[in-house]
Amino acid sequence: MAVDVNVTVGPWPTDDHEQWSTGDVSAHCDRFGLAAVVVRHSVAVRYDPAEGNRRLAAELAAAADPRLLPGYVLGPLDSGEHGAPADLPERLRADGVRAVWLFPRSHGWSLAGPEARSLLGALRRAGLPVLVELDEVDWSEVDELAAAAPELNVVVCGVGYRSLRQLVSVLDRRPSVHVDLSFLASQDGLELLVGRYGPGRLLWASGAPSRDPAGAAYLWRHSDLDGAARAAVAGGNARRLLGLPAAGAPPSVDPGWPAGPGGDVVDAHGHIGAWPSCWVPRESADDLVAAMDRAGTTQAVISDLLGIWADPVAGNARMLAATAGHPGRLYGYLVASPHRPQDEPLLERQLREPAVRGFKVHPHTHECALDDRRYEWIWALARRHGVPVLGHGFAGTWHSDPYLFGAVAERHPDLVLLVGHSGATVEGFRRTIEVCRRHPNVYAETCGSWLTGRWLGRLVDALGPQRVLHGTDACFIDQRYGLGRVHGAALTDHQRALVLAGNARRLLQLPLPPQRLLPQGGN
């Protein structure tokens, strides 16, 4: 049975995610077939580590579920908040603590500062694995920690896709540094890291409830790893780091999904190409289609990132070449820049290409707010040809807030607008719901780092299943995370089918590909 090294219980002051009890964690173990879960308490993260650790010990004792293992949150010891440094290792052992969490950014200290020295000494004596969320540290601090205490096993959680350049540099240098799968989001990142370092540096984790456990489970279930590597990632590595006995059978993380591709899936928000601020290791159309086959994606509608960032004309030409190279699997959005009305004749001709299904606008990279009048020629072109526009959406920004989609929809009620990422953040999801309710020509597209199955269910409940489209943001974000969230969400089969494919087929007028082109793989 598998092991999850990253779960939180306790109250949370925002509505970013659910608030889990120990009973919820036990149900989580049952759902995913987990033999053990490392649990931390929200009060230790959001209020006071010592108080949260005491609450965790009491709640785990009351739950009496041996699968729930305590992970204490610690910080600098010189202030006396965690008792005498000398006997901390013994107290951790007496409490059955299996791992230590550190939150230096939230708790006002630095891993590289003098305040960390006594803590580091105690952790070395305790010999427990140390877990950190990436948004709490930077990679230089992780590197320094691993250099100062190479005998400590450090697990960096929630890696995402933006820091792959720094990640591989640290993993190359520091064999004691590991990564969890709660959001190892770079496309094919799991296969990339296992191919580079072997399977021993990766640990399965859900990040629940702030992240969606179904994403990490789907990633593992549809990976290209062999049996031994899959077993190591699912539980063998965690057992070694946590000092747990070896499993009697190969561990598995499988909530009962089909072994192969599971029905019609359209990715309504995909890309090919590079991104300036992060390394995209597999960026070609061939790479994307291979990832689609692995995940079980029938078709994807893509734009080229060269067009989004620098050169719309060249980017659109590359997109058209990619779709021509994969007919029936890849369709495209033409990138339109509000600063380039001179492109209108070319875009008018390209709209007649059979693979083109609409426009992509990116107010962030083009530095022009979505409701700016400079987009009017694009809106007119889209309306004239009856094609939708997918726009980058990000709540709280001056350029891409969902409310700006509402302003455009008010002026052009016959223009179909897709709010990319559904506004990206929890507040973005709320604003997207508000805008879509007011404007029937606006739809929610779901790719992004913060969406969970719970929020997907809220979007569907609020808007109806006909107004929500599945997207993944490949080739940034691994498609398996996005698909796992949809499969794991509390949706009916009818709702799931509309979200995964039906709505995109209707709005983007996508034909089904020939049977011979459909994904045939699956693990």
Are 395 and 289 in the same domain? yes
CA 136 distance to own-chain centroid: 17
- Please provide residue 6's backbone torsions phi and psi, each rounded to the nearest 5 degrees: -150, 90
Q: What is the pLDDT of residue 256?
A: 64
Structural domain includes residue 256: no
Supply 373's token pair.
């009048």
Supply 199's token pair.
């399977």
Q: Are 207 and 447 in contact (CB under 8 A)?
A: no
In a 10 Å sphere around its CB, with 0-12 CB exposed, 13-18 middle and 19+ buried, how is residue 13 labelled?
Answer: exposed
Are 306 and 201 in the same domain? no
Q: What is the pLDDT of residue 516?
A: 63
Are 282 and 188 in the same domain? no
Structural domain includes residue 206: yes
Structural domain includes residue 254: no
Q: How far apart are the C-alpha atoms of 17 and 450, rounded to whole Å?
A: 10
Are 117 and 235 in the same domain? yes
Are 228 and 289 in the same domain? no
Are 141 and 17 in the same domain? yes
Q: How far apart are the C-alpha atoms of 196 and 189, rounded to whole Å?
A: 10
Residues 425, 379, 474, 33, CA torsion sign: positive
Q: What is the pLDDT of residue 162?
A: 86
Are 323 and 365 in the same domain? yes
Are 222 and 280 in the same domain? no
Question: CA–CA distance from 466 to each of 461, 462, 499 (Å)?
Answer: 10, 11, 7
Helices (H), 114-174: 117-126, 139-148, 164-173
Cα diameter, the chain: 75
Structural domain includes residue 440: yes
Q: How far apart are the C-alpha atoms of 148 and 152, rounded to whole Å?
A: 9
Supply 312's token pair.
């719309």
Structurally, the chain folds into a number of domains equal to 2
**Is the peptide bond preceding residue 213 cis, with omega within 30 degrees of 0?**
no
Question: CA–CA distance from 76 to each of 101, 110, 227 (Å)?
Answer: 12, 9, 41
The contacts of residue 22 (CB under 8 Å, 6+ apart) are 9, 39, 59, 60, 62, 63, 65, 68
CA-derived radius of gyration, the chain: 24
Structural domain includes residue 87: yes
* DSSP state for residue 208 in the 8-state scheme: B
Structural domain includes residue 491: yes
Are 56 and 123 in the same domain? yes
Are 303 and 237 in the same domain? no
pLDDT tens for each residue of the chain, 523 residues long? 899 999 999 998 888 888 999 999 999 999 999 999 999 999 999 999 999 999 999 999 999 999 999 999 999 999 999 988 999 999 999 999 999 999 999 999 999 899 999 999 999 999 999 999 999 999 999 999 999 999 999 999 999 888 889 999 999 999 999 999 999 989 999 999 999 999 999 999 999 999 999 999 999 999 999 999 999 999 999 999 999 998 777 778 877 665 444 589 999 999 999 998 888 888 999 999 999 999 999 999 999 999 999 999 999 999 999 999 999 999 999 999 999 999 999 999 999 999 999 999 999 999 999 999 999 999 999 999 999 999 999 999 999 999 999 999 999 999 999 999 999 999 999 999 999 999 999 999 999 888 999 999 999 999 999 999 999 999 989 999 999 999 999 999 999 999 999 999 999 999 988 776 667 655 5
Q: Are 359 and 390 in contact (CB under 8 A)?
A: yes
Residue-number span of the structural domain to which 284 is assigned: 273-513
Q: Are 334 and 350 in contact (CB under 8 A)?
A: yes
Matching residue, tokens 């029938």: 298
User: Considering 198, 222, 242, which residue would you say is the last residue of a domain?
Assistant: 242
Structural domain includes residue 523: no
What CATH number did the domain enclosing 400 receive?
A: 3.20.20.140
Query: Facing residues of 36 across strands?
Result: 3
Structural domain includes residue 261: no
